[in-house]
Structure 1
Amino acid sequence: MISHNPTVIFRKAVPDGALPVAGEHIVSDDTCTIDLENVRLGGGFLTETIAVTPESSMRLRMRPREKADFVTTFNLNEPLVGFGLVKVLRSEEDSIKEGDILMGLTPWQKYTVQPYVEADPAGAFPVEQYLVALGNPGMAAYFALHGLAKIKTASIISICTSMRLLTRPSLAIQLAKQAGSTVIASAGSESKLEYLRDLGADHVFNYQTDGYVHPLAKHGPVDIVIDCVGGEALEAAIEHASFKAQIIIVGASADYGVPASERYGVKNMEYVFQKALKISGLFMLDQLDLFEEYFSVIPEMLKSGKVTSRILRVDGLKNGPQAMVNMLTGNGGQVGKPIIFV
């Protein structure tokens, strides 16, 4: 049986300092087809995609190939690849059965043949939670606080976010409060500040009107910094960090779409050695020893309501390119993690 296989294609590399344009760099292609009954599995299994989610890290893979770094670029004229949830339709792998629900990196297309990591075949949680609290954002928040920072009760934590990215910080706030810490958090609109308050943040401020320096001076010094922004936010965090504070960098949204020559340069690096600060970048694969702990702790928090999340529902891969662009530019001020239901 020949079926349509809607796909989001990486058509054109995005120049340094720019953001992708839907319909130019990433495009929706409805012309692809697949024979679901006869496609060769080669010992693998055929899956149908349930949902995928855009991540800021995917922007790194859209750069020109000559700008190669530790993260490989997407292949031109092939599907985007990102975190997703799929259902097994056919399988030649003994450990994978028809009907299993799997999670992991998957092409942005409706049907594909590719191995995944098993999630929760019992379906104990709504689909979207496997891409938010139980997915990459939740892992990033947990690994940053418990893996790198080794969070302790009574710590003062600053969680620096931006108008674009709020999901990881929102989960980090909840985990920090569960550990008994005082949380300082920032956002760029009143609706997002209200959301941070609802999550339990002790002190919130609007970085667009208040900047970063005064609020951190008022509520600091800060023992742990979770920084998703870079630039001025990182500079302020360094200035108002306590002695031997830890700064965990999980993103640099201030630099997205900004040419290298125009990016803000941090000017107070002398504090790093004067205060004996520890600055770490979060690399998920370095935290593999925490995966088992993570999947034993977070599901229980979800069941009890100690951890919650918001999503922005997007229907259909045809809207995938614009959902990616919207995520990188702030989702029009809306609060939530975009989930594309295929």
Structure 2
Amino acid sequence: MSEISEEMRRTEVESREWYMAAYAPEGVPTSDHLKLRTVKISLALDSIPDQHLVLETLFISLDPFLRSRMTGREDGLCSPQYNLNEVVSAFGVGKVIRSKDSNFGEGDVVICPFLPVAEYCVLPSQALTTKIDPDAGVPLPEYLSMLGVPGFAAWVGIEVIAGPVKAGSNVFISAAAGAVGMYAGQLAKIKGCRVVGSTGSDEKVKLLKEEFGYDDAFNYHTESDFDAALSKYFPNGIDVYLDNVGGEMLEAVLNHVNHHAKIPLCGMISGYNKVWSEREGVRNLLNLIGKDVKMQGYMVFSYIDRFGDFTKEMESHLKQGKIVSKFKIINGIEKFLESLGSLFTSSNIGKLVIQVK
């Protein structure tokens, strides 16, 4: 890693940070809810507690589940709510610029699952997941994507919840060009499945087929009847459905599942900005009984004991070129609020990451 700059030899730095000013029970959070402020952080070693580090934030991951921590109520995702006036946190990559832990040195690059959305921060060293090997040849954003939460969510869904997936299975992925969907489809293809995805634009349909190896895909904005669309794309029924959207799409899928189909529920982005009573209901759950279907929701941190298996397998796929990634890098921490809102539109492709430094 590069040496710490002279600027970082100062005894104090100014740090911009995003904090929770007010809860947003519904709708996309705005500047009324999330605000940016500037604080000062001391770099003097005698001001840093033992077993703590000062980190300079390099990259912040933007993930839809962050929205569920901003409602002010415990909801379906059971994510702990941010406290008012608290700095919001996300999965991120940072560089150590001060250390009061002998296991970490200045210049180490680390992954943190709860990194404050700030330019600098002081954290207990136990809050970090691992150090990154600078000689591994892996781009840093990849640790927030293929080797991070989205890749892990896709792997758990396909490998664990839906597994063992048999070659020749018919697999459907919603939000297929998103951070989780792009990996889920590729993992299913590696297993020899026929994979179809739904996405929000014709450009993304092309991407799924030409870059991510999907057998077919459709634009859910131009398919007015999801039930008819699934009849067309799955004449032999659906064996595995990785659900990222919920609502109308999930209901339509339940009309096309085969016996013993498996449905990992990874996310339901169609309902994140609504209170539960305003979300679309699913009226045909009876199909789960009649066809012995397994439908299971999951949170990736419940499978953290499998993270080593996941990392080993995904690193192998990465080195062999079996899986590809797509990023959108946003420069500047001031773009956090705007970028968070964009997750709930069809404007993004692949993984959205903020580059702070």
TM-score range, shorter chain: over 0.9
- Give 2:326's match in structure 1, choosing from 310, 327, 330: 310
Shift of the alpha carbon at 1:322? 1.0
Aligned equivalents of 1:267 and 1:66: distance in 2? 25
Give the Å deviation of 1:67. 6.4
Matched-pair contact (CA < 8 Å) for 2:49–2:100: yes
Q: Deviations over 1:34-90 (max 9, x none)?
A: 111343133222211111011111111001257697321011112111000011122
Task: Give yes or no for the alignment of 1:133 onto 2:135.
Answer: no
1:183: how far off? 0.3
Q: Given that residues 246 and 269 in structure 2 are in contact (C-alpha distance below 8 angstroms), is that contact kept between their aligned partners in structure 1? A: yes
**Distance in 2 between residues matched to 1:72 and 1:234, nearest whole Å:** 26
CA contact (8 A) 1:153 1:181 kept: yes
Alignment partner, residue 183 of structure 2 = 171
Structure 1 residue 222: deviation in Å? 0.7
Whole-angstrom CA distance in 1 between matches of 2:254 and 2:326: 30
Offset, 1:323: 1.1
Amino acid at match of 1:213: D
One-letter code aligned to 1:160: S
Q: Is 1:190 the counterpart of 2:202 in the alignment?
A: yes
For residues 302-341 of structure 1, the aligned pairs below 5 Å read 302-330=318-346, 333-341=347-355
Residue matched to 1:76: 84
What SS is found at the alignment partner of 1:161? coil
Runs of 4+ in 1 over 4 A off after TM superposition: 65-69
- Tell me the residue number matched to 1:11: 21
**Aligned in 2, Cα 1:314/1:208: closer, same or farther, shift over 3 Å?**
same
Q: Note the alpha carbon deviations across 1:294-327, whole angstroms, 9 max, x for none.
A: 1111112122221111111111111111111112
Match of 1:223? 239
1:298 and 1:160 map into 2 onto residues whose CA distance is 21
Question: Is residue 41–residue 91 contact of structure 1 (8 Å, CA) maintained in 2?
Answer: no
Give 2:296's aligned residue.
280
SS of the equivalent of 2:338 reads helix
Is 1:160 the equivalent of 2:174? yes
SS, match of residue 261 in structure 2: strand
Q: Are the equivalent residues in 1 in contact too, given 2:94–2:109 (CA < 8 A)?
A: yes
Aligned residues: 335
Measure the CA separation in 2 of the matches of 1:293 and 1:334: 29
**Partner SS state of residue 209, structure 1:** coil
Provide the residue aligned with 1:94 in structure 2. 102
The answer to whether the 8 Å contact 2:71/2:81 transfers is yes
Label 1:117 to 1:247 Cα distance change in 2 as closer, same or farther (>3 A): same
- SS of the equivalent of 2:166 reads coil
SS of the counterpart of 2:44?
coil
Checking the alignment, whether the CA contact within 8 Å between 1:18 and 1:259 is kept in structure 2 is no
Q: Which amino acid aligns with 1:204?
A: A
Per the alignment, residue 133 of structure 2 pairs with: 121
Whether 1:206 and 2:222 are equivalent positions in the alignment is no
Superposition CA RMSD, Å: 1.8
Q: Distance in 2 between matches of 1:57 and 1:67?
A: 11
TM-score (norm 2): 0.89
Task: Please give the TM-score of this superposition, normalised by the length of structure 1.
Answer: 0.93
2:318 matches 1:297: no
Flag structure 2 segments of 5+ consecutive residues without an equivalent.
1-10
Partner SS, residue 50 of structure 2: coil
Provide the identity percentage.
Answer: 30
Alignment of 1:36 onto 2:36: no
SS of aligned partner of 1:325: helix
In the alignment, the residues of structure 2 paired with residue 9 and residue 292 of structure 1 have an alpha-carbon distance, to the nearest angstrom, of 33
Quote the Cα distance in structure 1 between the aligned partners of 2:275 and 2:304. 34
| Alpha-carbon distance between aligned partners in 2 of 1:127 and 1:230, rounded to the nearest angstrom | 31
Number of the residue aligned with 2:253:
237
- Does structure 1 conserve the Cα–Cα contact (< 8 Å) formed by 2:74 and 2:81? no
Deviations 1:175-223 (A, max 9, x none): 1111111001111210111111121111211222223212322324111
Q: For residues 136 and 193 of structure 1, do their structure 2 counterparts lie closer, same or farther at Cα, with a shift above 3 Å needed?
A: same
